[in-house]
Amino acid sequence: MGKINDILSQVRQREHEEGRLSVKEYISFALTQFGLGSIGAVPGGQRMLFYTSIGIPATQAGLIMTTSGIWDLFSDPVVATIIDRGKLDPKRPNRGKFTRWLAPMVPFFAMASVLMFINPPVNSITAKIVFCFLAYFIFEVFSTFVNISFQTMRVVMSPLQDERSNYITFGNISGLLTGALPGLIPLAFSLLAEGNDAQPAMLRASSFFTVIAIFFAVLGMVPALFSKHLKERVFAPKRSDRFFENVRTFFKNRYFLLLWTSNIPNLLAGVSWVAAPFFFIYSVGDFWWQTVVWTASGVPTFLVMLLSPLVLKRFQPRTVSIFSRLLNAGCKLGVFFITGALGYTTIPGLIVLVALFTLSSIPSGIQGIADDICNINTFDYTEWKTGERAEATTFVVGGMFSKAINHLAPLIAGVLMARAGFVSAAEGVSVTQAPHTRDALFAFYTIFPAIAVLLGTIPYFLYKLQGPMFDQVQADLAERRKIAKESDIDES
């Protein structure tokens, strides 16, 4: 153990001498995550609401989001192959295999996000469905380019876990700010509403979605362009530019596959995400309460995130993730039972809802960072076992299954809402939902994510890549990279 610690200390000293991440890179990483998150903020949570507000029935709206995602099965491997065929240049780390795609694709990603929220000037519902389908398809293509490239940068920016923890913390803090921005949308609708009825304002302002989409696209595009300052530092001796060879490497990454299974229950969490704005509009009767929940949850998450590097130095990432997930699930179950008993339209019931969602959010920021570190470390493990790395393909293949789950969620949400008696609005017409429909939306919003979190915790109990085992992995990789680097110098 002492030898391993000595090697790791030498690695850190050498990295310090040769140049650790600069403050500029930390800031650029955070700005990039903020920018990309801002561009995707409206598409991430408002598609279903927009589709139903322009007269598309809930089932068909869910079908748009599901069927357009099928294209990802074809486009994602193509994107991964294009990215993996980029040439490495250790002398120009900010023009590497992955960084070359980030900044150039950002403007196209921003424009595609706006296109998704344009209400076509036609009366035919079929024509609207076709337009929305094509717009969503275009968005997904550019989204894949920027997000796969940026996800991979989280792995290759540094080989050191302490630096990874630091820049992921910076990035997730900026991502939290991005996540809070959509909370302003319900507030805007409430300000436009007549009295306490948010529905007419929403329906009158279907074009308001377009304005909001433009705002978030411009807000995100400028900081996302700072991605040009990011540099790649992890150059594996063995990388392939062939997609199916990299797929084989993906299946060798057994710990990544293990953690990936925690995404399967997200099908239920996705239903909750889709149902959230409908719950506040139709069940609570005031969209403004969603802003309250998001704001109250965001503040403690932000504060705890600042302590993430200290917490992760004291506790293993897996331990942090498990504790956070169990607390999250317990709080959401509490909302279902306590707020359900008090009534989700009463002030006491809503106060309990806000309080428990706030409590569940306290460890959420650290959980996200811990999950990222657990996933990132699996690439080092695979290189240690096989000498191979395939970051882009791994994220694409894993992402294809995750996207399939995410695309199924709106369809299932639409079907469940229809079975619960949900009635979509016609343009400019207010709709009142039946009591059993409002109760169903409440269940989708609370009990579904609780079950998803509990099931998603199971793989982390089986994850063993930590402590002395991972220290050995880092030490061995450091020695191999040192030998490879010295060999390159001798050859040159």
With contact defined as beta carbons under 8 Å apart, do 62 and 411 qualify? yes
DSSP 306-331: TTHHHHHHHS-HHHHHHHHHHHHHHH
Nearest Cα neighbor of 322 from 141, 136, 458, 464 is 458
With contact defined as beta carbons under 8 Å apart, do 255 and 158 qualify? no
Q: How confident is the model at residue 18 (pLDDT cuts 50, 70, 90)?
A: very low
Separation of alpha carbons 452 and 333, rounded Å: 11
Q: How confident is the model at residue 111 (pLDDT cuts 50, 70, 90)?
A: very high
Instruction: Say yes or no to pLDDT of 410 above 50.
Output: yes
The dotted CATH code for 23-222+243-468 is 1.20.1250.20
* pLDDT greater at residue 303 or residue 420: 420
Phi then psi for 462, rounded to 5 degrees? -95, -5
Q: Is 200 left (phi over 0), alpha (psi -120 to 50) or beta?
A: alpha
Separation of alpha carbons 112 and 114, rounded Å: 5
Separation of alpha carbons 68 and 110, rounded Å: 19
* Average pLDDT, integer, range 413-418: 87
Separation of alpha carbons 247 and 219, rounded Å: 36
Instruction: Say yes or no to pLDDT of 198 above 60.
Output: no
Instruction: Say yes or no to pLDDT of 180 above 70.
Output: no
* Average pLDDT, integer, range 176-186: 63
Note the residue count of the chain. Answer: 492
Separation of alpha carbons 464 and 475, rounded Å: 17
Task: Out of 15-24, 121-130, 204-213, give the one with best mean pLDDT.
Answer: 121-130
Sorted by where each begins, the domain ranges of the chain are 23-222+243-468
The pLDDT score that the predictor gives to residue 179 is: 64
Separation of alpha carbons 481 and 492, rounded Å: 16
Q: What angle do CA 179, 328, 181 make, to 5 degrees?
A: 10
The pLDDT score that the predictor gives to residue 17 is: 44
Report, in this order, helix, strand and coil percent for the chain, each rounded to 5.
80, 0, 20
The per-residue pLDDT for range 86-97, each reduced to its tens digit, is 665 555 555 667
Half-sphere exposure of 434 (CA within 13 A, CB side): 10
* Average pLDDT, integer, range 349-369: 85
Separation of alpha carbons 218 and 39, rounded Å: 8
3-state SS assignment for residue 120 = coil
Instruction: Say yes or no to pLDDT of 42 above 80.
Output: no
| Cα 410 from chain centre | 16
Q: How confident is the model at residue 200 (pLDDT cuts 50, 70, 90)?
A: very low
Q: How confident is the model at residue 110 (pLDDT cuts 50, 70, 90)?
A: very high
State what percent of residues in the chain have pLDDT above 90. Answer: 11
The pLDDT score that the predictor gives to residue 425 is: 63
Separation of alpha carbons 14 and 23, rounded Å: 18
Counts for the chain of helices (H) and strands (E), in that order:
22, 0
The per-residue pLDDT for range 135-166, each reduced to its tens digit, is 888 888 888 888 888 888 888 888 777 788 78
Q: How confident is the model at residue 63 (pLDDT cuts 50, 70, 90)?
A: confident
The pLDDT score that the predictor gives to residue 462 is: 92
213 Cβ contact list (under 8 Å, min separation 6):
42, 43, 113, 114, 116, 117
Separation of alpha carbons 263 and 371, rounded Å: 12
Separation of alpha carbons 194 and 208, rounded Å: 16
44 Cβ contact list (under 8 Å, min separation 6):
182
Instruction: Say yes or no to pLDDT of 471 above 60.
Output: yes
Locate 393 and state its tokens: 């393909």
Q: What's the start-to-end Cα distance of the chain, in Å?
A: 36
Phi then psi for 88, rounded to 5 degrees? -85, 140
* DSSP code of residue 259: H
235 Cβ contact list (under 8 Å, min separation 6):
88, 90
Nearest Cα neighbor of 202 from 445, 428, 42 is 428
The pLDDT score that the predictor gives to residue 56 is: 83
Helix axes 161-180, 125-156, angle to 10 degrees: 150
* DSSP code of residue 337: I
